Structure 1
Amino acid sequence: MSLNQLTVAKFGGTSVADYAAMLRCADIIKNDPTNRLVVVSASSGVTNLLVRLSQAEVDASEQQAIITQISDIQHNILAHLNDELLTHEIHQLLVELADVARQQGQDYSVKVADTILSFGEQMSSRIFAKVLQQVGVEGAYFDVRQVMKTNSLFGQAVVDLEQLKLHAQQFLAPKLTEQVIVTQGFIGQDAQGDTTTLGRGGSDYSAALLAEALSAHHLAIWTDVVGIFTTDPRITDQARSIKEISFGEAAEMATFGAKILHPATLIPAMRQNIPVFVGSSKEPEKGGTLIQQSVESKPTYRSIALRREQTLVTVKSPAMLHASGFLAKVFAVLAKHELSVDLITTSEISVAMTFDNPTGSMQALLNSNVLEELEQLCEVSVEHGLSLIAVVGNNIHRTNGVGTSIFDTLQGINVRMICQGASEHNLCFLVEEQQANEAVEKLHRNLFAH
């Protein structure tokens, strides 16, 4: 067949968790002939097990227990396929995984950790190709490492876009005219032939990069929820699915905490203007959210995103008063330690900045490395236990009454920092962690009551 229309379909871990879930995904592929490239995550639960297996302190007995758990997940699917060759392939992968894990236990390395993490996708993609064949779709396994060339920054590898496009057109595109190709998200390969991983959100990002490299007409992200919601449904049962949303709005939502999409996923799609659909593989008949460059509806309020575990750093110095160069010195310190600022506000003699994920490595970096250098320049205060709330929509910076609507609703809730004006799509502020859910619920009830 010709590739007049090409859809890249990505299925997340819950979508390929077991045989029944894989069958639902196979039906989605079968029902739309434009689905020619399928990108899969590891089966649900497998990546977490592999993360544990890749760590340095895991002893031999725990290694064996983890591999047994992974084997059980895969063999529960294989039992429905009755394919000796495939069962043997998966068994060989598990044997190889055990060998690599033993090596990691003796001499830890980030390179070996990436190799360990890649096994989940290697197994799920082989198995899903067989499930497709079982429902009458000519599906074939393809090792994405043939085309997804990266640098050697293990755990957070950067893809070489030129090489990806060249190899995808050479090795992948011809196969798509003959059969449905099933490949892996999240993993790549460096110039030395070592396996790399693309980091958090890597599977969605892989699918978007492949869609871009192949000039696809559509990217479908299949997950376990019916599209993108006006806010996290776990916070309020009033949250509702959004039918369409612009790239700009979706990027703001992803950046400021909406878990359904990683911000990097949208970048390749935006570069090539490829519409992105987000839907539930469990309930494909319910539709989902279409993300594209231009949309018909442009409401003032589209959604409310929440990002927890924020750190607020305030630097203060009388030397700032009518002085130039102070901000440059502050940001030179942050750049030296590769720290990324999310929000920033300034006054005459102080600057307030937010940083993401304070309970992880970021907090340690702020405490041990950065603060001492900043304190040589100015007075520094650090606050933890904050959440960032972003009200996302359209023309927020030009719409009368936005601030009044939002902050009147938040009476009784202490707003620690406000940031507006840099984007037409959002108004952001910080609240104390314990008040975050209440703030989101109140705002949603007021802004989305109609």
Structure 2
Amino acid sequence: MIVVKFGGTSVGDAAAIDRAAAIVRGRMPGRPLVVVSAMSGATNALIAISEQASKGHLVGAVRSVEVLREKHLQALADLVPDETVVREVGAELSASFDDLARLAEALSVLGYLTARSQDAIAAQGELLSSQLVVAAFRARDIPAEFVDARQVMITNDRYGRAEPQVDAIAERARERFLPILREGRIPVTGGFIGATSEGVTTTLGRGGSDYSASLFGAALQADAIEIWTDVDGMLTADPRVVPDAKLIERIRFDEASELASFGAKVLHPSTITPAVRRGIPVYVYNSRRPEGAGTLITSDAPRRPVSAIAAKPSTTVVKLRSARMLLAPGFLRTVFDIFERHRTSIDVIATSEVSISVTLDDAENLEALLVDLRALGDVSVDRGRGIVSVVGAGLTDGSNAMARAFAALGDARVHMASVSATGINLTLVLDADQVTPAMQRLHDAFFGGAPGGAAGSAS
């Protein structure tokens, strides 16, 4: 069996859902499990509704609920010709919107928003889209069956960024998905959402739909996982920054994971991990151009000095200097315990005998974090920085790739430089306004003159 995941733009309107149906029809011999995101823009709208309501702006929140209701019901009417089915499914969708309006009213009365309440509202996007997709598929004689993802995706109770419980998910996936697949039907479920073992709704955080697809694929030992999005696949750089970025037809698991972690938007950073553990190939395709080659992420892709350039245009650098670090066993563990306690992850790290510098993608808990760090030594914070990463499995294989990378930067000031433990990622911290020109110069240095692209299909 295979897992076929459609992102928000790939189920964003009636035309997109119609294309998704055609894609699934062509994959029916492979026994697909379909995972869908919310319709494009729906999750942002739902989060805005929760925030509006909690601030007492109930009229605006309810108006936004009605806009979403109309969007989904219009798509249903456009996709399903049978008026009886439209009325039945429309009534189910409307009931969900009525519940959403009541949740907004309750938040307005309470006057504050918890992460648990926000998850309950944000999860509606995937629940609505998956039911809409099922109706559209059935109207096209595709035997689809809705499965509430909260019955399968079991997580802890860290609302907003819930952590999946892999063993429980594997057991539930076999219980809920396999019987449907064995009967020749197609399960359709939402990504991004889950529930605690007690049944309380959770979400996996932004981009969690890809992660859901990978976890379900790993649980069912799928033959392949397909990610359908609005780009042709993984590219040698962000095409919004580098217009001549080239398609990477085959890329290694570790390279794809690094690129996702350091700014590539095609995949969620966690997507690859469950697939790697099971050795499941991951394909990335464009739902608007299903005939395209796409990108295959696999363990036996070519080993290149550089496969792609990624970037994060904004990051925060925290520096700790302490004489207590000198020859002090366990000091770094104490530092990292502080970051863990404040639920703050580190992107890049550089150390010396008496100092440590780290970059933070999410500085939400920075002030509380700094209080604890200052107990260990002198702390400074640099804002207005960005990260550029040069990724390639053969980056340190005796080639001159690293020298070319530094030469391409010209006079750009490098605040930090780090090579990953596996040697496939050279990460550079620059001034934020230097990130875009640095990406362009690096891409030109490695891919500018290669016919067909140095990251194309290689034997």
CA distance in 2 between partners of 1:151 and 1:349 (Å): 38
What is residue 91 of structure 2 aligned with on the other side? 88
**Deviation, structure 1 residue 323:** 4.4
What is residue 354 of structure 2 aligned with on the other side? 349
Decide whether the 8 Å contact of 2:345 with 2:362 is kept in 1: no
Structure 2 residue runs without a partner (length 5+): 451-459
CA distance in 2 between partners of 1:256 and 1:387 (Å): 11
Decide whether the 8 Å contact of 2:238 with 2:245 is kept in 1: yes
Amino acid at match of 2:226: A
Deviations 1:366-394 (Å, cap 9, x if unpaired)? 2x222233223222221011111110002
- Structure 1 residues 23, 269: CA separation in 2 closer, same or farther (over 3 Å shift)? same
Amino acid at match of 2:23: I
What is residue 52 of structure 1 aligned with on the other side? 48
Match of 1:17 among 12, 35, 38: 12
CA distance in 2 between partners of 1:151 and 1:345 (Å): 32
**Deviation, structure 1 residue 415:** 1.1
Match of 1:7 among 2, 9, 34: 2
What is residue 39 of structure 1 aligned with on the other side? 35
Amino acid at match of 1:52: A
CA distance in 1 between partners of 2:393 and 2:128 (Å): 43
**What percent of counterpart residues are identical?**
37
Match of 2:148 among 134, 143, 148: 143
What is residue 277 of structure 1 aligned with on the other side? 283
DSSP 3-state at the match of 2:25: helix
CA distance in 1 between partners of 2:69 and 2:434 (Å): 43
CA distance in 1 between partners of 2:447 and 2:132 (Å): 43
Structure 1 residue runs without a partner (length 5+): 1-5
CA distance in 1 between partners of 2:236 and 2:387 (Å): 16
Decide whether the 8 Å contact of 2:304 with 2:395 is kept in 1: no
Deviations 1:135-156 (Å, cap 9, x if unpaired)? 2211121112222222222212
Decide whether the 8 Å contact of 2:305 with 2:399 is kept in 1: no
DSSP 3-state at the match of 2:347: coil
What is residue 259 of structure 2 aligned with on the other side? 253
Deviations 1:251-282 (Å, cap 9, x if unpaired)? 11011111111111111111111111111111
**Deviation, structure 1 residue 409:** 1.0
Amino acid at match of 2:94: H
| Aligned residue runs from structure 1 range 196-207, under 5 A | 196-207=202-213
What is residue 187 of structure 1 aligned with on the other side? 193
What is residue 265 of structure 1 aligned with on the other side? 271
What is residue 456 of structure 2 aligned with on the other side? none
**Deviation, structure 1 residue 58:** 4.7
What is residue 63 of structure 1 aligned with on the other side? 61
RMSD over aligned Cα atoms: 1.6
DSSP 3-state at the match of 1:230: coil
Decide whether the 8 Å contact of 1:39 with 1:203 is kept in 2: yes
CA distance in 1 between partners of 2:50 and 2:31 (Å): 34
Decide whether the 8 Å contact of 1:14 with 1:43 is kept in 2: yes
Match of 1:99 among 98, 102, 108: 102
Residues 1:303 and 2:298 are matched in the alignment: no
**Deviation, structure 1 residue 421:** 4.9
Residues 1:315 and 2:320 are matched in the alignment: yes
**Deviation, structure 1 residue 324:** 4.1
TM-score (norm: length of structure 1): 0.94
- Structure 1 residues 140, 60: CA separation in 2 closer, same or farther (over 3 Å shift)? same
Residues 1:221 and 2:227 are matched in the alignment: yes
- Structure 1 residues 177, 19: CA separation in 2 closer, same or farther (over 3 Å shift)? same
Match of 1:117 among 117, 122, 128: 122
- Structure 1 residues 406, 62: CA separation in 2 closer, same or farther (over 3 Å shift)? same
Decide whether the 8 Å contact of 1:397 with 1:421 is kept in 2: no
CA distance in 1 between partners of 2:117 and 2:340 (Å): 29
Amino acid at match of 1:288: G
What is residue 389 of structure 2 aligned with on the other side? 390
DSSP 3-state at the match of 2:439: helix
What is residue 30 of structure 1 aligned with on the other side? 25
Deviations 1:23-43 (Å, cap 9, x if unpaired)? 000000001221521111111
Decide whether the 8 Å contact of 2:396 with 2:402 is kept in 1: no
DSSP 3-state at the match of 2:18: helix
TM-score (norm: length of structure 2): 0.92
CA distance in 2 between partners of 1:325 and 1:195 (Å): 39
| Aligned residue runs from structure 1 range 143-182, under 5 A | 143-178=148-183, 179-182=185-188
CA distance in 1 between partners of 2:5 and 2:20 (Å): 10
CA distance in 2 between partners of 1:335 and 1:120 (Å): 31
Residues 1:430 and 2:423 are matched in the alignment: no
Decide whether the 8 Å contact of 1:389 with 1:440 is kept in 2: yes
CA distance in 1 between partners of 2:200 and 2:323 (Å): 52
What is residue 3 of structure 1 aligned with on the other side? none
Decide whether the 8 Å contact of 1:18 with 1:76 is kept in 2: no
**Deviation, structure 1 residue 322:** 4.4
CA distance in 2 between partners of 1:337 and 1:237 (Å): 39
